[in-house]
Structure 1
């Protein structure tokens, strides 16, 4: 398959996947609501870099091993679910700011950049759905005759496009007016994201044990 037709097909499929709600969206929204623009951007960068992880193991064949080894895939699912549960419990305990606390949150509650980056990286890196997506992409959409250099370009594009999409969301969600509203009412969004993360974790655990 020629480069451009295949690339456009991959870009379209990837756009639909990255724009659909999931753990990545939930973590970026939570960081944007709770901690502000800087933290949300670093979480977005973490998600983008994690895409390179999926691309790497898909190219070297480790992804096939994960898919064809039930206990390994189940372990990945359980680890992902546990991490989502950890994030969910923190989000569900969010409380409304009182008085000057809302102003203080904007300046002092931002976590370290490395922590936000790690949260995005781990959330995407442990996501079994992302694993299956890239396995399907490299097995079905991308031709076996496609040169390795093209595949590397595809992978780099998807990593950059993913990070760019979530950085864009971070900028929108932390707009001055939106940020002011979220500082006062953001705990409701935080709790909502906690419920979403909890639901995703339960679904992963249920799917994992159902396949035993």
Structure 2
């Protein structure tokens, strides 16, 4: 398979993982609609950075470290799952504040975006199987680097667009009216995803 065809296959494989709504989409959209475009963009950039890191790990075979040390992979999965659940609990607590408005934000939005993507099951499937199958060790290094850059560019285009769209004044006005209920819905989704990840075998 030539380089263009290989990169096309990588992009087609990445599209469903990136575009299908999941934890990354929920976190970015919620942060943006809550009224902070800057924080939403930071979360989106964290998602993109984690995707680039995961792609690099998968493409250059560094994932063999986790394969050789199952206890480390399990520990990372449990910690990341619990963190995702904690974010969900925080949203539930925000929903209980007066008028459903959240207390002042703390923490690192960029780091939240990175952890969201690291714990994303879709990302695990794509980077752990689809990408490694598309880019076997025999592929030239230049092709692997180009594939990583393509993934980062596509991810940035999509996730930054979500942040900008959901931080528009119209979306924020709608969100402000529905904030308490949405906080509970989004919080529940994150808790379920986090617990499922932490207890998965």
TM bin (shorter chain):
0.7 to 0.9
Give 1:43's aligned residue.
43
In the alignment, the residues of structure 2 paired with residue 25 and residue 138 of structure 1 have an alpha-carbon distance, to the nearest angstrom, of: 21
Q: CA distance change for structure 1 residues 116 and 136 in 2, over 3 Å: closer, same or farther?
A: same
In the alignment, the residues of structure 2 paired with residue 125 and residue 199 of structure 1 have an alpha-carbon distance, to the nearest angstrom, of: 16
Range 27-36 or range 75-84, more displaced: 27-36
In the alignment, the residues of structure 1 paired with residue 13 and residue 59 of structure 2 have an alpha-carbon distance, to the nearest angstrom, of: 18
Unaligned ranges ≥5, structure 2: none
In the alignment, the residues of structure 2 paired with residue 178 and residue 170 of structure 1 have an alpha-carbon distance, to the nearest angstrom, of: 11
Q: How many residues align?
A: 201
In the alignment, the residues of structure 1 paired with residue 180 and residue 142 of structure 2 have an alpha-carbon distance, to the nearest angstrom, of: 46
Give 1:197's aligned residue.
190
Contact 1:80 1:127 in 2 (8 A): no
- Structure 1 residue 188: Cα displacement: 2.0
Q: How do 1:1-212 residues align onto structure 2 when only pairs under 5 Å count?
A: 1-95=1-95, 109=104, 111=105, 115-127=108-120, 129-207=122-200, 211=201
How big is each residue's C-alpha offset from its partner over 1:79-134, in whole Å with a ceiling of 9 and x where there is no partner?
Answer: 111110210111111237767x97xx8xx95x47x821111012213446524421
SS in 2 for 1:94: helix
Normalised by the length of structure 2, the TM-score is 0.87
Unaligned ranges ≥5, structure 1: none
The structure 1 segments of at least 4 consecutive aligned residues displaced by more than 6 Å after TM superposition are: none
- Structure 1 residue 174: Cα displacement: 1.7
Contact 2:11 2:151 in 1 (8 A): yes
In the alignment, the residues of structure 1 paired with residue 168 and residue 26 of structure 2 have an alpha-carbon distance, to the nearest angstrom, of: 18
In the alignment, the residues of structure 1 paired with residue 60 and residue 178 of structure 2 have an alpha-carbon distance, to the nearest angstrom, of: 46
